[in-house]
C-alpha cells in the first residue's frame, strides 16, 4: 500500500550514512558485482537515501537522508540485511486534455520494462550546496528533460504529493504545466533520435498518455506501486 502525504512545507535533514559490518559489506559488494555483470550500464555513483520521514509541528514533513552510492541498493538482495530506502522525485506531466505521461524504462536501466512517471533517485549535492526543495525541484526538471525531452523550468513545477511505499521508499512528486499531447510526442521522438545518433539508449523506450488508473492494466509490463494512487489523486485536479 502506498501512503499519500500532503504537507504545507518540506524540510530535508542530512544524517550519518549507515555503518555496515564487514561481512555484510562483502556480500553487498559481491551482489553489486553480479548486478553489474548482468547490466554493465549500472554505475556506482552518489545517491541520497531516505533515513526517515516524520511530521513537524507546523504541518510540514521532514525527510532525513544520507549519502551513499548505488551499490548500497544491492543490500535488498542480501538476506537479513536492512535494505536502504530510496528517495526519489517524479514529475506528473499532464496534457491539455487531462491525460498524463508515463514512460517505460529501457533495457539499459536497472528496472527494464517498468512503467513510471519521469523521475529518478535523488543525488546528493556537491560542495556546500544544500539538499532542499529547490534542489529537488531542479532535479525533477532535469529528469523530465532527460527522459522525455520536455524542458520545463524548475520554477514551473509544483509539489503535489509525497508518497511512502510499503517498502519505505519515499517519493516527492511534482506537477508540471499542461502541454499539448502532440508536443509531448514530438519532444520525445526528438530525444530518442538524438540519443540513438549518439549511440546511447534513452532511459524510456516508450511513452504513453494515461487518462485514468483503469488504463494501467493495458500497459505491457509492470508499473511502480505509486502510479495508481498518484494518478487517482492528480486526476481529480487535472480534469481526467
pTM of the model: 0.93
For residue 121, pLDDT over 70 is answered with yes
For residue 228, pLDDT over 70 is answered with yes
Q: Which domains does the chain have, with CATH numbers?
A: 3-238 (3.90.79.10)
- The pLDDT of 155-159, averaged and rounded, is 96
pLDDT for position 165? 93
When pLDDT is cut at 50, 70 and 90, the band that residue 237 belongs to is low
For residue 231, pLDDT over 70 is answered with yes
Q: CA-to-CA distance for 121 and 54, rounded, in angstroms?
A: 20
For residue 219, pLDDT over 60 is answered with yes
With a pLDDT cut of 70, the percent of the chain lying above it is 98
Q: Does residue 44 contact residue 68 with C-beta atoms inside 8 Å? A: no
In this predicted model, what pLDDT tens digit does every residue of 188-204 receive, in sequence order? 999 999 999 999 999 99
Cα within 13 Å of Cα(69), Cβ side: 9
How far CA 158 is from CA of 36, 59, 97, 122, 162, in Å, comes to: 36, 18, 19, 17, 12
Amino acid at each position: 500500500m502506498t501512503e499519500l502525504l500532503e504537507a504545507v512545507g518540506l524540510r530535508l535533514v542530512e544524517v550519518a550514512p549507515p555503518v555496515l559490518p564487514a561481512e555484510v559489506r562483502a556480500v553487498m559488494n559481491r551482489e553489486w558485482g553480479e548486478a553489474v555483470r548482468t547490466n554493465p550500464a549500472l554505475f556506482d555513483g552518489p545517491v541520497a537515501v531516505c533515513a526517515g520521514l516524520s511530521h513537524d509541528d507546523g504541518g510540514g514533513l521532514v525527510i532525513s537522508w544520507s549519502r551513499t552510492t548505488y551499490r548500497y541498493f544491492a543490500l535488498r538482495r542480501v538476506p537479513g540485511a536492512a535494505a536502504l530506502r530510496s528517495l526519489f522525485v517524479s514529475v506528473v506531466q499532464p496534457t491539455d486534455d487531462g491525460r498524463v505521461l508515463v514512460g517505460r524504462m529501457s533495457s539499459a536501466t536497472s528496472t527494464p520494462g517498468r512503467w513510471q512517471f519521469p523521475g529518478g533517485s535523488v543525488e546528493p549535492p556537491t560542495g556546500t550546496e544544500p539538499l532542499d526543495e529547490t534542489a529537488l525541484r531542479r532535479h525533477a526538471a532535469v529528469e523530465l528533460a532527460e527522459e522525455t525531452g520536455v524542458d520545463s523550468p524548475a520554477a514551473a513545477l509544483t509539489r503535489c504529493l509525497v508518497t511512502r511505499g510499503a517498502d519505505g521508499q519515499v517519493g516527492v512528486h511534482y506537477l508540471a504545466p499542461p502541454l499539448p499531447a502532440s508536443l509531448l510526442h514530438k519532444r520525445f521522438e526528438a530525444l530518442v533520435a538524438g540519443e540513438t545518433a549518439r549511440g546511447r539508449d534513452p532511459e524510456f523506450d516508450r511513452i504513453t498518455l494515461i487518462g485514468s488508473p483503469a488504463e494501467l492494466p493495458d500497459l505491457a509490463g509492470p508499473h511502480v506501486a505509486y502510479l495508481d494512487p498518484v494518478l487517482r489523486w492528480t486526476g481529480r485536479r487535472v480534469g481526467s
